[in-house]
C-alpha cells in the first residue's frame, strides 16, 4: 500500500529478487492519477518480467481475496495513527497480515556522510531547512548534493535515476508542479538534486560528486538511507501532531536534532505542548527554535487589494493545513479581502476541494501532470481578483499562464538563539 514513494523503495530494498515472496500488486492513494500504471520490469527485477500492476487503494479487499494475499505492507506517510489502524483492520478482516517495514530492512548505507532533514508533518519547513544546511556546507567549501524523497508520478521506467542541475532538466523530465517546488530552489542555489525510483542507483551516482549528502525528506517519512545526523522539524501550529501521525512520531523518536519551527506565528501554549512531547519521547535530542519569516518584493501591490491565495498543494491536502505563507502575507501587508477560489474550481481542482473539506477559500497549487496544470490555470483565470499571492516556492508562471499579476511569497529558515544549525553541522566539515 503506497503513494509512489516508500512503497517502491520497500519493494526495491526488501522484496525485489526475494524468492520467499510474490508481490501481486501495489495500491496507490494521496496522489492523483498514479494508479493504473505498472511497476515496470526494468525496476521489478528477474521475478517479475511483466512488471507489477498498480491499483487504487479502494480495491485492497478485492485484491486480498482474488490473490489469497497473506501480507499487506503499509508504506506511505503523513497519515494519523488512527487511520493506519483502520487500514490495518481492513486488511486483517480480509484475512491478511498487516506489516510495517522499518529502517534496518529498508535503509541503504552510503560511503559519504548523510544528513537527513525530515519532519513530523507535511508543511513544517523541511525545504527551507534543507536549503540552509546545503548553504552551510557550500559556504564551507564542501561539495553537497541533495537527494529528494521520491515523486515519480510519470513513466517509472524513465525515472529510475534523475539528476537536476538546471531548469532545462526540469523540462526534460516533465516535472510536475510538486516536483518543481522541491527542485527549483536548490537549482537557484547552485545545488544538484537527485531523485527518482531506485534509491540505491541514485545514491551511488550522487556519491560520485558529493562530499556530503543531504536527504531532503518528503511528507513526514523517515529517510531511505542510514544517516549520520537526523534533523527533524516539528510544527507548533499543529501541536500534538508530532506524536499522532505516522511515521512522523518515528522521526521524532529517531532525531538527533529537533527544530521547532514557526515560533514567530505560534502561540506559547502550543509551543509548550510540542516541547513537552519532545521531552517525553526524545529527551536527549538537541532542540533548536526557528522561524520562517516571509519576504515580498512588492508589498504595495497587496495593500487594499482583493487577493487570490495559492499555497503549496501537499501542505494543504494530506498535510492538513488550512493556510500557508501567502495567507500570512495577505494579513501582514493589508489585503482588503481574500477571494474564495472554491466556486471557480474546475475538474480535478474541484475534486480536491471535495476530498479535503477543511480547505476554505485558499487554492492548493495542484499540478500532478499537464492536465491538472491546465485546470489550475483555468481556475485562476476564472477568478475575479486584483492580484494573486503565490506561497508555492517556485515561479509558477513557468508552467501556467495566469491572466492577472502574481506576487511570489518567499521564506527562509531563521534560527533563534542557541543551539543553531552551525553548532551541530560543524563536526562534518
- Helix or strand run (H / E) with residue 355: helix 347-355
Nearest by Cα to 277 from 230, 231, 240, 237: 240
Helix (H, G, I), strand (E, B) or coil at 121: coil
Q: What local confidence, expressed as pLDDT, does residue 126 receive? A: 95
Helix (H, G, I), strand (E, B) or coil at 131: helix
Q: SS in 3 state form for 17-76? A: CCCCCCCCCEEECCCCCCCCCEECHHHHCCCCCCCEEEEEHHHHHHHHHHHCCCEEEEEC
Mean pLDDT computed over every residue of the chain: 96
Q: Does pLDDT of 388 surpass 90?
A: yes
pLDDT single digits (tens) 242-279:
999 999 999 999 999 999 999 998 999 999 999 999 99
Q: Are 134 and 144 contacting, i.e. CB atoms less than 8 angstroms apart?
A: yes
**What is the rounded average pLDDT of the residues 385-412?**
93
**What is the rounded average pLDDT of the residues 103-123?**
97
Q: What local confidence, expressed as pLDDT, does residue 393 receive? A: 86
Rounded to whole angstroms, the Cα distance separating 340 from 363 reads 8
Rounded to whole angstroms, the Cα distance separating 369 from 179 reads 10
Q: What local confidence, expressed as pLDDT, does residue 19 receive? A: 98
**Strand 229-234 relative to strand 114-119: parallel, antiparallel, unpaired?**
parallel
| Sign of the Cα pseudo-torsion (133, 134, 139, 142, in order) | positive
Q: What local confidence, expressed as pLDDT, does residue 368 receive? A: 86
pLDDT single digits (tens) 338-384:
999 999 999 999 999 999 999 989 999 998 888 999 999 999 999 99
Q: What local confidence, expressed as pLDDT, does residue 173 receive? A: 93
Q: What local confidence, expressed as pLDDT, does residue 233 receive? A: 98
Q: What local confidence, expressed as pLDDT, does residue 33 receive? A: 84
Name the DSSP class of 94: T
Rounded to whole angstroms, the Cα distance separating 242 from 220 reads 10
Rounded to whole angstroms, the Cα distance separating 426 from 429 reads 6
Helix (H, G, I), strand (E, B) or coil at 262: coil
Q: Does pLDDT of 321 surpass 90?
A: no
| Sign of the Cα pseudo-torsion (90, 93, 96, 102, in order) | positive
> Binning pLDDT at 50, 70 and 90, where does residue 195 land?
very high
**What is the rounded average pLDDT of the residues 7-34?**
96
Residue in the block written with cell 487570490: 308
Rounded (10°) CA dihedral 205, 208, 209, 211: 120
Rounded to whole angstroms, the Cα distance separating 277 from 274 reads 5
Helix (H, G, I), strand (E, B) or coil at 308: strand
Percent of the chain with pLDDT over 90: 91
Residue 140: CB atoms within 10 Å: 15
Which triple of cell numbers denotes residue 345? 474550481
pTM: 0.93
Lowest model confidence (mean pLDDT) among 157-171, 315-329, 415-429: 315-329
| Sign of the Cα pseudo-torsion (154, 157, 163, 167, in order) | negative
Name the DSSP class of 282: -
- Helix or strand run (H / E) with residue 113: none
**What is the rounded average pLDDT of the residues 291-305?**
93
Burial of 66 by CB count in 10 Å (0-12 exposed, 13-18 middle, 19+ buried)?
Answer: exposed
Q: What local confidence, expressed as pLDDT, does residue 271 receive? A: 98
Question: How far is C-alpha 45 from the chain's CA centre?
Answer: 27
> Binning pLDDT at 50, 70 and 90, where does residue 315 land?
confident
Which triple of cell numbers denotes residue 204? 551511488
Rounded to whole angstroms, the Cα distance separating 272 from 256 reads 20
pLDDT single digits (tens) 53-96:
999 999 999 999 999 999 999 999 999 999 999 999 999 999 99
CB crowding 25-61: b at 16 or more within 10 Å, else e = bbbbbbbbebbebbbbeebbbeebeebbebbebeebe
Q: What local confidence, expressed as pLDDT, does residue 314 receive? A: 86
| Sign of the Cα pseudo-torsion (115, 289, 150, 326, in order) | negative
Q: Does pLDDT of 287 surpass 90?
A: yes
Rounded to whole angstroms, the Cα distance separating 358 from 347 reads 19
Q: What local confidence, expressed as pLDDT, does residue 119 receive? A: 98
Q: What local confidence, expressed as pLDDT, does residue 47 receive? A: 98
Q: What local confidence, expressed as pLDDT, does residue 212 receive? A: 98
Q: What local confidence, expressed as pLDDT, does residue 319 receive? A: 86
Amino acid at each position: 500500500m503506497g503513494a509512489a514513494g516508500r512503497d517502491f523503495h520497500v519493494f526495491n530494498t526488501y522484496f525485489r529478487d526475494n524468492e520467499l515472496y510474490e508481490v501481486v500488486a501495489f495500491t496507490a492513494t494521496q496522489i492523483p492519477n498514479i494508479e493504473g500504471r505498472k511497476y515496470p520490469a526494468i525496476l521489478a527485477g528477474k521475478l517479475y518480467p511483466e512488471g507489477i500492476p498498480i491499483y487504487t487503494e479502494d480495491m485492497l479487499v478485492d485484491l486480498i481475496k482474488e490473490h489469497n494475499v497473506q501480507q499487506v505492507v503499509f508504506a506511505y506517510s503523513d497519515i494519523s495513527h488512527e487511520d493506519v489502524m483502520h487500514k490495518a483492520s481492513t486488511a486483517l478482516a480480509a484475512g491478511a497480515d498487516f506489516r510495517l517495514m522499518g529502517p534496518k530492512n529498508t535503509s541503504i548505507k552510503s560511503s559519504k556522510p548523510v544528513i537527513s532533514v525530515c519532519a513530523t508533518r507535511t508543511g513544517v519547513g523541511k525545504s527551507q531547512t534543507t536549503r540552509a544546511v546545503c548553504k552551510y556546507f557550500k559556504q564551507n567549501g564542501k561539495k553537497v548534493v541533495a537527494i529528494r524523497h521520491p515523486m515519480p508520478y510519470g513513466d517509472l521506467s524513465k525515472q529510475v535515476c534523475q539528476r537536476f542541475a538546471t531548469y532545462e532538466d526540469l523540462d526534460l523530465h516533465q516535472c510536475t508542479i510538486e516536483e518543481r517546488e522541491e527542485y527549483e530552489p536548490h537549482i537557484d542555489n547552485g545545488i544538484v538534486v537527485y531523485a527518482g525510483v531506485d534509491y540505491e542507483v541514485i545514491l551511488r551516482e550522487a556519491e560520485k560528486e558529493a562530499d556530503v549528502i543531504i536527504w531532503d525528506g518528503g511528507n513526514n517519512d523517515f529517510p531511505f538511507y542510514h544517516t549520520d545526523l537526523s534533523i527533524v522539524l516539528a510544527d507548533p501550529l499543529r501541536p500534538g501532531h508530532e506524536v499522532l501521525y505516522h511515521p512522523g512520531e518515528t522521526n521524532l523518536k529517531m532525531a538527533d536534532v529537533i527544530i521547532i519551527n514557526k515560533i514567530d506565528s505560534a502561540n506559547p501554549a502550543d509551543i509548550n505542548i510540542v516541547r513537552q512531547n519532545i521531552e517525553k519521547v526524545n529527551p536527549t535530542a538537541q532542540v533548536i527554535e526557528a522561524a520562517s519569516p516571509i519576504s515580498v518584493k512588492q508589498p504595495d501591490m497587496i495593500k487594499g487589494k482583493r487577493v487570490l491565495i495559492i499555497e503549496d498543494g501537499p501542505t494543504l491536502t494530506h498535510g492538513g493545513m488550512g493556510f500557508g505563507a501567502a495567507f500570512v502575507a495577505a494579513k501582514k501587508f493589508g489585503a482588503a479581502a481574500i477571494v474564495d477560489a472554491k466556486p471557480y474550481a474546475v475538474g480535478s481542482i474541484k475534486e480536491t476541494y471535495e476530498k479535503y473539506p477543511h480547505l476554505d477559500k485558499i487554492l492548493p497549487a495542484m499540478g500532478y501532470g499537464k492536465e491538472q496544470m491546465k485546470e489550475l490555470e483555468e481556475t485562476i483565470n476564472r477568478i475575479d481578483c486584483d492580484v494573486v499571492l503565490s506561497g508555492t516556492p517556485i515561479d509558477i508562471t513557468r508552467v501556467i499562464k495566469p491572466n492577472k499579476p502574481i506576487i511570489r511569497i518567499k521564506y527562509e529558515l531563521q534560527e533563534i538563539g542557541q543551539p543553531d544549525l552551525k553548532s551541530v553541522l560543524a563536526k562534518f566539515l
